[in-house]
Structure 1
Amino acid sequence: MKLRRKRHKPLHINDITIIDDSKLKKAITAAALGNAMEWFDFGVYGFVAYALGQVFFPGASPGVQMIAALATFSVPFLVRPLGGVFFGAMGDKFGRQKVLSVTIIIMAISTFCIGLIPSYASIGIWAPILLLLAKLAQGFSVGGEYSGAAIFVAEYSPDRKRGFMGSWLDFGSIAGFVLGAGVVVLISSIVGEAKFLDWGWRLPFFLAAPLGIIGLYLRHALEETPAFQQHVDKMEQGDRDALQNPPRASFKEIATKQWRSLLVCVGLVIATNVTYYMLLTYMPSYLSHNLHYSESHGVLIIIAIMIGMLFVQPVIGLTSDRIGRKPFVIGGSIGLILLAIPCFMLINSNVIGLIFVGLLVLAVLLNSFTGVMASTLPAMFPTHIRYSALAISFNISVLVAGATPTIAAWLVESSGNLYMPAYYLMVVAVIGLLTGLYMKETANKPLRGATPAASDRSEAKELLQETYDNIEQKVENISDEIDDLEEQIKALEKRKQALIDQHPKLD
């Protein structure tokens, strides 16, 4: 039986996807706003953890209150993989846009509900239970949020601008933190600390409602991404490859067929998010509880640091389109290994200027990861399983990263060593360094399973020529390999004949 060899059609200029600039801007805005709302809650929660500890765990010591409040922050990460599996499968089956509309609704409602929960003094044990349930709902929705938003932006972006466009997603994250922190400082300064502990802490969570409505409006108005639409068109046309690879993926398939991409994804997410949560969620508590700065004082320092990060973020994304993503992952990891302890020496110096410098250095190193993560991760997996694969692997990694505030607080509390967070960062930086050395460069290349994407027809012609040049180089490499194989075959034939000549009964 003869195997029929599939013939691919030659790639022409009309096969290059031209990205509509107005649609791209809308996609980035909608994705970044949803991400901002997610991190607005994380920022608020981190900055009011001291208040939540007193409201929901009043009988414990201040140290235990802090750990308990941060543990409530970390527990929802246990359900994020479930949300990733659910929304990932839905995103690969029904499209990215529909799923992102659902996740932002769940996220807005659950965040709003935190502001409604009565205190422990009012309803007893039900107060922390209701807080945990609201956080679990958040965790489930967030399981599909970042992965979907990153994919949405990546699939809408031209190949040569994917780093710059993707960097705006985490720009939204940082902006959400800034907004959350700014709202906490503003409200606490207006109403005073006593009233803030009584009822003022609830107000930031109520802002989730209008933010959610705006985000839902923007996302609902978007069209599906070009890469996913291409995949759907292939299936409708009866493409055999598309039919044999239905839009769903089990973890077993990811682990066996996509193991290299899985390892890169896990390593990069752990390195990025542990640094993220250490700096932006744990450090406000570290400054107030361990270094005895006033809550508002510590928050103001972090706000200033995050504003600086906003300026650095898109610069790194833009530069990664020129020199690649790998240098930033490797450089950021080496920087953490070498500078984590010096930075914490500055933070513990009791000199405001030096504290600021220590935090700023950590922030720039964090930018090295966040500036390229959203453009790197979606390029790891092919279109038909991209959402499922990325959501599952991303959220499994976040299980480790999400425990960072709790673990850091416990390590400092139990050991009495204020440098434990620095050691923690150094261990994680080793993971980041190995990931950077191991990962393949994805800058200026089409997403796996998708045709090249360009900003305009002129760029499309350049991409087409680059694709032709790449094909020619691969053909030359294969030809060289064939020549080498032919030489090896001839050598084996000579050896075979020499052995036959030595045997009287073989000819």
Structure 2
Amino acid sequence: MSCVRTRVLGSASAAARPAADTIGLAAPVLLLLARFVQGFSAGGEYGGAMTFIAEYAPDRKRGFLGSWLEFGTLTGYIFGAVIVAVLSAAMTEQDLLAWGWRIPFLVAGPLGVVGMYLRLKLEETPAFAELVERHEAEEKEAERSAGRGLRDIFVEHWPAMLICGALVLVFDVANYMLTAYMPTYLSDELPPGIGETESSALQIVVMAVMLVVITFVGRLSDRIGRRPVVAVGCGALVVLSVPSVMLIQHHTLPTVFAGLMIMGLMLVVFSATMPSTLPALFPTSIRQGGLSISFNISVSLFGGTVAAVMTALIAATGDLMWPGYYLIAAGVIGGIGIWFTEESARRPLPGSAATAADDGRAREGSAA
């Protein structure tokens, strides 16, 4: 809950930040700090959200229900992209830089308040209380092991940490490449072709398609397993990343759309499966801690740096194919990670009893 509250405060602080002509250099510094607060709070909440869904979902539906976490993330991406596209089309560049940039932060603040309300209501439901009581023994074990904390995570479970880091790497490199870097790549690196408004519209359409597909991929991972689905995604990155970038480089509406769609469909494989795959790497006593630490380290080192690394590599070499090469490398690392991952579909989480819609199915799942 503290992470959600902090994120709301970060949005409010960014929107209310005084202008540079009032406080000088402190203005961009305050904006940067507000963005750091938002990023840290989102990262702190995400591991807990994955753990919450994974532990409370029936074993046979964990992939499907977990995919709704990224359904919500994609919905946020789409709302953000729509707001930016509308503001860019409706405002002059001068007005946008002067005060229009505050609007997305003002919109995000009330949404965060809604998120806090839902978070509070979710934790107070009778179902939550029943689950806490049912897993009381596990919680006591978690309390006994809390003192060991970081030593358990890094010393006893370092293989799971490495595997989680590799899987998060492929997930977030593909994610940041599409959602964060491709708009810059289209506008700054390629010669004039389609306009910024058209580019934004294409990305919104691609993410809308991902929104439609994602829960079906999650359900598929429940049926055939996480490992085959993730392995196909990693293989697709190796085979299709360069062709997708080559299509984007043609810089026409059909080719850019095709290239972005290929990237989006490769990304949705990971978006749909990681919320159910990653929590299964850790036992109950350290699940949220181990997952959050490895997730955020990998995102910070490899996901959030995608745009900066791509810009630096292209500037240093002049080779516009670096996004494709980078995605291939991510696919290889993700493939190694999934090779060492045990199949978790239709099985209880490590350290947890079988969970199902009814006791009969729970026993059936335990015997399988």
Closer/same/farther in 2, CA of residues 243 and 353 from structure 1, 3 Å limit: closer
- Determine if the alignment matches structure 1 residue 448 to structure 2 residue 337: no
Distance 2:242 2:212 in 1: 25
Unaligned residue ranges in structure 1 (runs of 5+):
1-100, 237-241, 471-507
- Determine if the alignment matches structure 1 residue 147 to structure 2 residue 13: no
* Residue deviations 1:77-96 (CA, integer Å, cap 9, x gap): xxxxxxxxxxxxxxxxxxxx
- Determine if the alignment matches structure 1 residue 435 to structure 2 residue 345: no
TM-score by length of 1: 0.68
* Residue deviations 1:193-248 (CA, integer Å, cap 9, x gap): 33222211210111122101111111101234766544435566xxxxx2784345
Which of 217, 222, 226 pairs up with 2:122?
222
Q: Give the 5 Å matches for 1:275-286.
A: 275-286=174-185
Contact 1:103 1:142 in 2 (8 A): yes
> For residue 205 of structure 2, what is the aligned residue in structure 1?
304
- Determine if the alignment matches structure 1 residue 134 to structure 2 residue 34: yes
* Residue deviations 1:286-344 (CA, integer Å, cap 9, x gap): 11122244332221111111111101111100100000111121111111111111111
Distance 1:466 1:194 in 2: 61
The one-letter code sitting in structure 2 at the alignment partner of 1:206 is: L
* CA RMSD, Structure 1 to Structure 2 (Å): 2.0
Which of 461, 475, 478 pairs up with 2:360?
461
Q: Secondary structure of the residue that 2:145 maps to in structure 1?
A: coil
| CA-CA distance at 1:171 after TM superposition | 0.8
* Residue deviations 1:110-129 (CA, integer Å, cap 9, x gap): 02222223444443321221
- Determine if the alignment matches structure 1 residue 411 to structure 2 residue 310: no
Closer/same/farther in 2, CA of residues 210 and 267 from structure 1, 3 Å limit: same
Which of 286, 296, 303 pairs up with 1:385?
286
| CA-CA distance at 1:172 after TM superposition | 0.9
Which of 234, 238, 249 pairs up with 1:333?
234
> For residue 78 of structure 1, what is the aligned residue in structure 2?
none
Which of 310, 313, 319 pairs up with 2:214?
313
The one-letter code sitting in structure 2 at the alignment partner of 1:319 is: L
Distance 1:418 1:161 in 2: 42
Closer/same/farther in 2, CA of residues 449 and 414 from structure 1, 3 Å limit: same
Comparing 394-403 with 436-445, greater Cα deviation is found at 394-403
Q: Give the 5 Å matches for 1:54-93.
A: none
Closer/same/farther in 2, CA of residues 179 and 270 from structure 1, 3 Å limit: same
Q: Secondary structure of the residue that 1:221 maps to in structure 2?
A: helix
* Residue deviations 1:259-286 (CA, integer Å, cap 9, x gap): 2321221111011001100110111111
Contact 1:227 1:450 in 2 (8 A): no
Which of 89, 103, 107 pairs up with 1:207?
107
Contact 1:270 1:428 in 2 (8 A): yes
- Determine if the alignment matches structure 1 residue 174 to structure 2 residue 74: yes
Distance 1:204 1:244 in 2: 41
Which of 113, 116, 136 pairs up with 1:232?
136
The one-letter code sitting in structure 1 at the alignment partner of 2:175 is: Y
Distance 2:195 2:166 in 1: 36
Q: Secondary structure of the residue that 2:91 maps to in structure 1?
A: helix
Comparing 186-195 with 422-431, greater Cα deviation is found at 186-195
Which of 46, 59, 63 pairs up with 1:163?
63
Contact 2:142 2:286 in 1 (8 A): no
| CA-CA distance at 1:138 after TM superposition | 1.8
* Aligned residues with identical type, % of pairs: 39
Closer/same/farther in 2, CA of residues 424 and 156 from structure 1, 3 Å limit: same
Distance 2:143 2:95 in 1: 61
| CA-CA distance at 1:348 after TM superposition | 0.5
The one-letter code sitting in structure 2 at the alignment partner of 1:115 is: A
The one-letter code sitting in structure 2 at the alignment partner of 1:276 is: N
Distance 1:260 1:154 in 2: 20
> For residue 371 of structure 1, what is the aligned residue in structure 2?
272
Q: Give the 5 Å matches for 1:351-362.
A: 351-362=252-263
The one-letter code sitting in structure 2 at the alignment partner of 1:183 is: I
Distance 2:139 2:66 in 1: 28
The one-letter code sitting in structure 2 at the alignment partner of 1:162 is: R
Contact 2:47 2:291 in 1 (8 A): yes
Distance 2:278 2:132 in 1: 16
* Residue deviations 1:484-503 (CA, integer Å, cap 9, x gap): xxxxxxxxxxxxxxxxxxxx
The one-letter code sitting in structure 2 at the alignment partner of 1:447 is: L
Unaligned residue ranges in structure 2 (runs of 5+):
none
Distance 2:50 2:170 in 1: 17
> For residue 268 of structure 1, what is the aligned residue in structure 2?
167
> For residue 77 of structure 1, what is the aligned residue in structure 2?
none
Which of 11, 21, 25 pairs up with 1:111?
11
| CA-CA distance at 1:409 after TM superposition | 1.6
> For residue 246 of structure 2, what is the aligned residue in structure 1?
345
Closer/same/farther in 2, CA of residues 305 and 225 from structure 1, 3 Å limit: farther
| CA-CA distance at 1:402 after TM superposition | 1.3
How many residue pairs were aligned? 361
